[in-house]
Each structure stands twice: as structure tokens, then as C-alpha cells.
């Protein structure tokens, strides 16, 4: 999970939480620093800085949204290189809300079906823009925004661990709802 100042906290924390509930090891990496101020002022502490983990093989690289955070992902040479390496080695990529624009910037959404927060992807960025809450096309998963964060996270659990594990995590998470 990449984090940058301005990342959307609901999307980042929900995905990290659900993946960890599924017993998936998650490394939250700040693009330039560990101490992150998210889009609504919530302070997050990343596990590492991207430069320290950039060469590690990841099952999936996840980008939360938040316009300012997504701009950082789009404009960071290190992030763009990580996305390209992940794609070239056949690894999964996932982005939600404004962050699919960083995938588009790397040219990774061409000829794919994708979704994002309205207005953050253009028809030139993807072969088919979708309004579905979560879209997986090949090894790339995209999602719409904060309201779809749980579904996005569970889709990643399904892709990484199977539908049974995703259903179990969802049932336990919902059982904890008052």
C-alpha cells in the first residue's frame, strides 16, 4: 500500500485493515516519508519509506485515492517505476478513487476496462470506462471511491486468497458491526 500526503484515509485504512484480517502481510510505504497527513487531516504512520522497499516483490501494489495523494503517485518517478516493474513482472496493481489516474499516467490502463472517481479518468486513459464499483481487468483492479473501499478490499482478498477467505472476512467484519 503506497501512502502520500493527501491520500484518502478511508480507502487506505479500510484496505489495510481488510487485507490484514485476511492474514495477508501488508507493507504500508510512504512515497517520501513515513509520517503521512491524509486528505482529511488524519495522521497515518507508514511501515516504511518506498525507497527502502522498492525492490521487494509484492503480490499487489495498491494505491489509495485522494486527489493530492494521487497526484503524488502520478508525478513520482519512483512510484511510476514501481508500477511499471510490477506490471512487467506480471504482478497485480490496484487503485481506487483518483489513483487510477496514476496507472493511466504509466500507460497501464490502455485497452483495459477501468473505473475511478468521476472525472479522474478520460476515455483516452482506458478502453472502456465503467461505473461499476470495482472492476478487475487482467491483473489490474480499480474502484470508484470511499464508498466502495470495503468491496475493493474484499475483491483484493478474493484475488489473493480466494472467495472463501473473502466471504469469511466479510462475515466477521459485518458481525462486528453493532
Residues designated as active site: 97
CB 51 within 8 A of CB 83: no
Scan for cell 481506487, then name that residue.
96
Report how far apart, in Å, the C-alpha atoms of 68 and of each of 9, 12, 23, 40, 90 are. 12, 14, 30, 11, 28
Instruction: Single out the residue of 44, 42, 61 nearest to residue 53, CA to CA.
Output: 61
How far is residue 66's CA from residue 12's CA, in Å, rounded to a whole number? 10
Q: Mapping DSSP to helix (H, G, I), strand (E, B) and coil, where does residue 70 land?
A: helix
> Residues 41-46: contacts with CB within 8 Å, 24+ apart?
42/9, 44/3, 44/7, 44/9, 44/12, 44/13, 46/3
- The 10 Å Cβ neighbour count of residue 65 is 31
Amino acid at each position: 500500500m503506497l501512502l502520500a500526503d493527501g491520500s484518502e484515509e478511508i480507502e487506505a485504512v479500510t484496505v489495510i485493515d481488510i487485507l490484514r484480517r485476511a492474514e495477508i502481510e501488508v507493507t504500508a510505504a510512504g512515497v517520501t516519508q513515513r509520517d503521512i497527513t491524509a486528505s482529511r487531516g488524519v495522521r497515518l504512520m507508514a511501515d516504511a519509506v518506498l525507497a527502502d522497499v522498492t525492490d521487494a516483490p509484492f503480490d499487489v501494489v495498491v494505491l489509495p485515492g485522494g486527489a493530492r495523494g494521487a497526484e503524488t503517485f502520478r508525478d513520482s518517478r519512483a512510484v511510476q517505476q514501481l508500477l511499471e516493474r510490477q506490471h512487467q513482472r506480471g504482478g497485480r496493481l490496484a487503485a481506487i478513487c483518483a489513483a487510477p489516474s496514476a496507472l493511466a499516467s504509466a500507460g497501464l490502463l490502455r485497452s483495459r476496462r477501468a473505473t475511478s472517481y468521476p472525472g479522474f479518468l478520460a476515455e483516452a486513459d482506458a478502453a472502456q470506462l465503467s461505473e461499476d464499483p470495482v472492476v478487475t481487468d487482467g491483473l489490474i483492479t480499480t474502484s470508484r471511491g470511499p464508498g466502495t473501499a470495503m468491496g475493493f478490499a474484499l475483491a483484493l482478498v478474493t484475488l489473493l486468497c480466494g472467495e472463501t477467505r473473502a466471504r469469511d472476512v466479510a462475515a466477521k467484519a459485518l458481525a462486528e458491526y453493532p
